[in-house]
Structure 1
Amino acid sequence: MRLLGTRPERLATLSYRAAGPGGVPQNVQLAVERLAVDELPAGCDALLAAGDLQGVTPSPFGGDPELLGIALADYMEVWAESGLLPSADRVGVLLTGDLYSAPGADRRGASGPVLDVWLAFAAAGCPMVFGVAGNHDEVTAAQVAELGPEVALLDGDRREFGGVTIAGVSGVVGDPGRAMRRSETAFLTLVDKVSTPPPDVLLLHEGPTGSRKDQLGRIAVRGELERRAPALTFCGHVHWAEPVAAVGDGHIVNVDARVVVLTA
């Protein structure tokens, strides 16, 4: 499953509230963009990848503001009715973590429970929901596994779906005494483990540097991937204005505060 182009096409935007400097809520636009790939997992007409959905917005069906990821799952039905996306039961989902926001979008870097985001995509009927946890997510693999046989939080694991291998490493490099953090050596060891042999898709929260100066990331992770690059590596944690970069004979797609839809 390889990219056929590196310039995403804008499909839609979704307005939401996020904490700005000093925790002041601000209005933000979530870009929904499309990239073409040569093939998709069997059973899917599209894959939706997203991460760092740290904001709140009402569902398109009304009600109070809720976590952005929950609203995004609801928007899939609206976009399917308009022809923008296939129906949710034909769209696999890839999540790169950090799906929580303070309810008032008034505190930056807030951590909290995100199982309801995973539940929203599973309840929408998506045939597969695989992802990793970010450093601000409070969720366990056991909780996620209860949502269905093809719903999985990955951390040093590989899964197969529709003929495609998807691997993932959760969390970030940091103080191992804190939640969702591990030493760089431990992090790279897990990346090496799940990349041998290279999967079709690698999911990370903290990803590698890109090929441009403003495509920030962890250079040691890039060094690891250059030896055995997956066809596609999805990550977030830091935002890239240009979301795609090459690594080895594969590509990195940064989905920090962004939705990327893959279609064949």
Structure 2
Amino acid sequence: MRITSLSDEPVQEIRFLNAGKRPGDFYSDSLPVLHGVVDALPEGMSALVVTADLQGRETFESARGQPLRLLGEVLPAMFVDEILPSLNVGNQRIGVLMAGDFYTVPTLDRRGGSGDVRSVWQAFADQMDWVVGVAGNHDLFGDKAGPPRFSGSMHFLDGDLVTVDGLRIAGISGIPGEPRRLWRRHINDFVDGVGSLLCESPEIVIMHDGPDAPVPGCRGLALVREMIEQFDPTLVVRGHAHWDTPLAELANGTQVLNVDARAVVLTAN
């Protein structure tokens, strides 16, 4: 799968509340939604929704006096009701690629909190046909660290691969770091894990942290990029570090789509 074009301007911006560093410091922010075109989607599919780092909560207006839901809990219905129809997306199957970090503390007074994101995965699964994703370094699934026990249309990846609607999708969760901390592993283990996945010739690789790119401001892991460049081209989806330029190409032709704090709708020509 190759992205042939990506909109420079958002097709829609979703207002949400972003956390501050102390009580009362939260502020209004917006999530840009971009539209991309790929050379082909599997037969019977209308679109892929791709996102990561939805670390915010809905607005007070949206909550209507109820506890503020996570941004990722309210976003899927907005896609179905507003965004996808505005792009004339057909009524065939919709898949979701999730690259991690979907939690924000309820009080919006601390950045980088960790918590349960199962409700976000379920919200996307309720509105779309299937979800494939990885964990970010702030994601819990229940009250304990470790992988979730999803079934049905939700597919969690950490060093493995799944085929959905004919798409071979691989994924590795977390970031390099101290292994005793949540969703972290030694950098060499992370790089080796990426290499093992690429040996399986996936069409898409999802990771939370990921490669850097030869474009100013495209921060990431040089060792991961060097590993990727040893293999045939693929499409890498990543989050964790924000890029002003969301799409970059590596030396071997691999495309890297950065969806940190953004969402992208991919449709076919």
Give yes or no for TM over 0.5: yes
52-61 vs 194-203, greater mean Cα deviation? 52-61
The residue type paired with residue 135 of structure 1 is N
State the Cα RMSD in Å: 2.1
Partner of 1:10, secondary structure, is coil
Normalization by structure 1: what TM-score?
0.91
The residue type paired with residue 31 of structure 2 is L
Aligned to 1:256: 260
Question: CA 1:2–1:73 in structure 2 vs 1: closer, same or farther (change >3 Å)?
Answer: same
Say yes or no: does 1:168 pair with 2:159. no
Looking at secondary structure, tell me which structure has more strand per residue: 1
The residue type paired with residue 12 of structure 1 is Q
Aligned to 1:137: 139
Give, in whole Å, the separation in 2 of the partners of 1:43 and 1:8.
28
Aligned to 2:161: 158
Normalization by structure 2: what TM-score?
0.90
Q: CA deviation at 1:104?
A: 2.3
| Kept in 2: contact 1:79–1:85 (CA 8 A) | no
Identity of aligned residues (%): 37
The residue type paired with residue 105 of structure 1 is L
| Kept in 2: contact 1:41–1:161 (CA 8 A) | no
| Kept in 1: contact 2:104–2:114 (CA 8 A) | yes
Counting only pairs closer than 5 Å after superposition, residues 108-119 of structure 1 correspond to structure 2 as: 108-119=111-122
| Kept in 1: contact 2:124–2:131 (CA 8 A) | yes
The residue type paired with residue 259 of structure 1 is A
95-104 vs 134-143, greater mean Cα deviation? 134-143
Aligned to 1:10: 10
Give, in whole Å, the separation in 1 of the partners of 2:47 and 2:118.
23
- Per-residue Cα deviation, 1:7-34 (whole angstroms, up to 9, x for no partner): 5452101011112455721111100001
Aligned to 2:29: 28
Aligned to 2:206: 203
Question: CA 1:127–1:82 in structure 2 vs 1: closer, same or farther (change >3 Å)?
Answer: closer
Count of residues in correspondence between the two structures? 260
Residue of structure 2 aligned with 1:236, choices 232, 239, 254: 239
The residue type paired with residue 29 of structure 2 is V
| Kept in 1: contact 2:70–2:104 (CA 8 A) | yes
Aligned to 2:97: 94
Partner of 2:96, secondary structure, is strand
Give, in whole Å, the separation in 1 of the partners of 2:35 and 2:87.
10
| Kept in 2: contact 1:80–1:88 (CA 8 A) | no
Question: CA 1:6–1:13 in structure 2 vs 1: closer, same or farther (change >3 Å)?
Answer: closer
- Per-residue Cα deviation, 1:65-99 (whole angstroms, up to 9, x for no partner): 21011111121222168433637862210000000
Give, in whole Å, the separation in 1 of the partners of 2:214 and 2:84.
38
| Kept in 2: contact 1:90–1:127 (CA 8 A) | yes
Partner of 2:129, secondary structure, is coil
Q: CA deviation at 1:229?
A: 4.7
Q: CA deviation at 1:105?
A: 1.9
| Kept in 1: contact 2:63–2:69 (CA 8 A) | no
Give, in whole Å, the separation in 2 of the partners of 1:45 and 1:61.
30
